[in-house]
């Protein structure tokens, strides 16, 4: 029935994702794994490591951007909820009236609700793409601000190669630049402001009523 379709619809924006998660975060496990012995070893001269995910997660500007993204997501969810709730109410009313309607009358009203529902679903998908575009743009801005700080830390450590820290299975991490970059980015920038990206609407797909 149309009611079940309406009540099961969701925007997938209940909670905005953080701009990034710190690499190596704890994960639930059925049994605690024994602590692995650190590989350690000598410092490899000129080889440095960096975690962009940890920079975005720990720098003040990354935390501020995540909070702003969550705020924009809540507002976007409210927009879609405001369009969906009247359809839910009409669907419940239609179910209550079903016994007093002919099969043709019920089907016509059900089809009309399905068309309204499809419009809201298309809007929900559009808003979701806008939120993702907003997240991408915020990441780009923070990356641009972080780049000169990364260059400075790279030169200060006399690096010759820079690797993503998440690709390292172990070893001596003395030349990990991440903490230095976070401190340098905090000194350079504390927050950024941005609004939701607006994307052009895609052509509406032909409506089809659920059966």
Residue 22 has pLDDT above 80, yes or no: no
pLDDT digits (tens, 9 = 90+) for 46-63: 999 999 999 999 999 999
CB 90 within 8 A of CB 113: yes
Residue 167 lies in a domain: yes
Answer yes or no: is 13 within a domain. Answer: no
Check if the beta carbon of residue 22 is closer than 8 Å to that of residue 58. yes
At 9 the pLDDT is: 42
Range of the domain at 47: 41-188
Task: Give per-residue burial for 73-85: e unless 16+ CB within 10 Å, then b.
Answer: beebbeebeeebe
**Residue 79 covered by a domain:** yes
Residue 29 lies in a domain: no
The answer to whether position 123 is within a domain reads: yes
Q: What average pLDDT does the segment 105-109 reach?
A: 94
In a domain, 194, yes or no: no
Q: How many folded domains does the chain comprise?
A: 1
> CA-CA distance, 179 to 184, in Å (whole number)?
9
Separation between Cα atoms, residue 127 and residue 114, nearest integer Å: 20
> What distance in Å separates the CA atoms of residue 76 and residue 110, rounded to the nearest whole number?
27
Residue 150 forms part of a structural domain: yes
Task: Give 144's Cβ-side CA count (13 Å radius).
Answer: 7
pTM of whole model > 0.85?
A: no
57 falls within a domain? yes
Q: Which residues pair with 163 in a beta bridge?
A: 49
Q: Which tens digit of pLDDT belongs to each residue from 117-158? A: 999 999 999 999 999 999 999 999 999 999 999 999 999 999
56 and 139 Cβ atoms separated by less than 8 Å = yes
């Amino acid at each position: 029935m149309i009611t079940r379709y309406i009540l099961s619809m969701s925007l997938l924006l209940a909670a905005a994702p953080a701009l990034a998660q710190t690499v190596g975060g704890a994960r639930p496990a059925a049994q605690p794994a024994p602590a692995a012995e650190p590989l350690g070893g000598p410092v490899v001269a000129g080889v440095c490591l960096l975690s962009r995910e940890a920079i975005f997660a720990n720098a003040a500007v990354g935390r501020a951007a995540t909070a702003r993204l969550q705020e924009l997501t809540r507002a976007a969810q409210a927009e879609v909820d405001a369009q969906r709730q009247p359809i839910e109410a009409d669907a419940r009313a239609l179910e209550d009236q079903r016994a007093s309607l002919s099969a043709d009358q019920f089907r016509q009203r059900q089809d009309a609700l399905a068309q309204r529902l499809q419009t809201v679903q298309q809007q929900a998908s559009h808003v979701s793409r806008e939120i993702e575009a907003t997240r991408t743009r915020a990441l780009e801005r923070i990356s641009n601000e972080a780049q000169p700080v990364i260059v400075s830390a790279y030169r200060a450590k006399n690096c010759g190669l820079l690797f993503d820290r998440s690709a390292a299975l172990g070893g001596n991490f003395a030349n990990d630049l991440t903490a230095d970059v976070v401190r340098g980015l905090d000194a350079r920038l504390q927050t950024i402001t941005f609004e939701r990206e607006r994307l052009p609407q895609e052509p509406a797909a032909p409506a089809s009523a659920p059966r």
